[in-house]
Amino acid sequence: MAPTTMNNPTNLIEFVMLEGNGVKGLSEMGLKSLPNQYIQPLEERMSMIKVVSQESIPIIDMSNWNDPKVGDAICDAAEKWGFFQVINHGIPIQVLENVKDATYRFYELPSKEKVKYTKENSSSKHVRYGSSFTPEAEKALEWKDYLSLFYVSEDEAMATWPYACRDEALEYMKMSETLIKQLLNVLMKRLNVSQIDEKRESLLMGSKRINLNYYPICPNQELTVAIGRHSDVSTLTVLLQDETGGLYVRAEDHHSWIHVPPVSGALVINIGDALQIISNGRYKSIEHRVTTNESNTRVSVPIFVNPSPSDVIGPLPEVLANGEKQIYKNVLYSDYVKHFFRKAHDGKMTIEYVKID
């Protein structure tokens, strides 16, 4: 197909979404220019003048996670930045390498294999392959393909997740469990929650979703985005990025962006909306975005640690015990997530849905 036919919106949607070629397929056509549908409005483009290089998010060594100093560093970072990186986190480097390889293995499958997992075709509601975020609702599309895997049980994953990446994704999830519990324990302590009982465990980590993100080489880095400004709706997210770079976090001054540099063997941790709500705003779910790259393909693999869909989330009684004003309403978590998934990325707007004025 001639690259110019991709400027026709119907042809593009058919090729990228319905036939399952993804933006990977577009990229491999060797387009000289970016199809119109991907051109973002000026205010959503990322320019280097918006980047501050003097600041960076903390890098925290987890080898002595029981040391109160480490706990303080984690909680301070969660309050101030909402983002930090961890090293010596206990997950073997090989497990991380394997899940990156598995991501490539999935995307290198022919489109007729991948198309089996699109929203229209997937035999499981928990497995979805797609491109951009919410194409139906977006003014401009995002330069990203994804495979999203909702974890229910090991057996269900073994039966439904694509073979090309199934074992590696499961292993990464399993091996991250201890780190997730350590982080949540430390973060809860500062909120005066000393014990994570069964109910609290469901509220903090009752469900998990792993996404394999693929950002192919883009013909024009300046005009588009890989992921638009958003905050995650998770409790917290554990993110594996490769050595390419391109993830930016909103700076405290609100006007500029801070790059999250790739650190070999590290994982990026960020607080999501659910934990911002549960902590009544103490921990911050910070806006972030991803830029495209004209020279390299990038992959990333976030694990979204979430409340269970059937949990009602709201500020914890322990947090409100000091008499502070409740700033978020209680909400059924699956309603909150549906609200997020039905609209285009729009910065921190999702949380407005539950704000008490």
Ligand X SMILES: O=C(O)CCC(=O)C(=O)O
- Rule CB under 6 A: which residues touch ligand X? 211, 213, 227, 232, 239, 241, 247, 288, 290, 300, 302
Which two structure tokens, joined as six digits, stand for 132?
A: 């951009």
Smaller CB separation from Fe ion, 232 or 273: 232
Tell me if 255 sits within 8 A of 339, measured CB to CB.
Answer: no
Q: Is 96 within 8 Å of 299 (Cβ atoms)?
A: no
Render the burial of 305-324: b for 16+ CB within 10 Å, e for the rest: bbbeeebebbbbeebeeeee
- Closest to ligand X by CB, 21 vs 211, is 211
Measured from the CB atom, is 232 or 311 closer to ligand X? 232
Interaction pattern, residues 211-230, with ligand WCA; x per rule: CB under 6 A: ----------------x--x
Q: Which residue has the tokens 């790059």?
A: 259
Q: Which residues of 154-169 are buried (b: 16+ CB within 10 A; e: fewer)?
A: eeebeebbbebbbebb
Q: Is 70 in the site for ligand WCA (CB under 6 A)?
A: no
Instruction: Pick from 309, 320, 339, 348 the residue near ligand WCA by CB under 6 A.
Output: 309
What's the closest the beta carbon of residue 341 comes to ligand WCA, in angstroms?
4
Q: Is 202 in the site for ligand WCA (CB under 6 A)?
A: no
Q: Least separation, in Å, of the C-beta of 288 and ligand X?
A: 5
Give me the 149-188 binding string for ligand WCA, x by CB under 6 A, dash otherwise: -x--------------------------------------
Most distant CA atoms of the chain, gap in Å: 65
Q: ∠ CA(49), CA(44), CA(25), 5° rounding?
A: 110
d(CA 273, CA 291): 22
Q: Which stretch binds Fe ion (CB under 5 A): 120-128, 132-140, 229-237, 276-284?
A: 229-237
Q: How many residues bind ligand WCA (CB under 6 A)?
A: 21
Tell me how many helices (H) and strands (E) the chain has.
11, 14
Q: What are phi and psi of 303, to 5 degrees?
A: -105, 115
Shortest distance in whole angstroms from residue 233 CB to ligand WCA: 4
- How far is the C-alpha of 107 from the C-alpha of 100, rounded, in Å? 11
Nearer to ligand WCA, 131 or 221 (CB): 131
By CB under 5 A, name the binding residues for Fe ion.
232
By CB under 6 A, name the binding residues for ligand WCA.
125, 128, 133, 148, 150, 207, 209, 227, 230, 232-234, 272, 304, 306, 309, 334, 337-338, 341-342
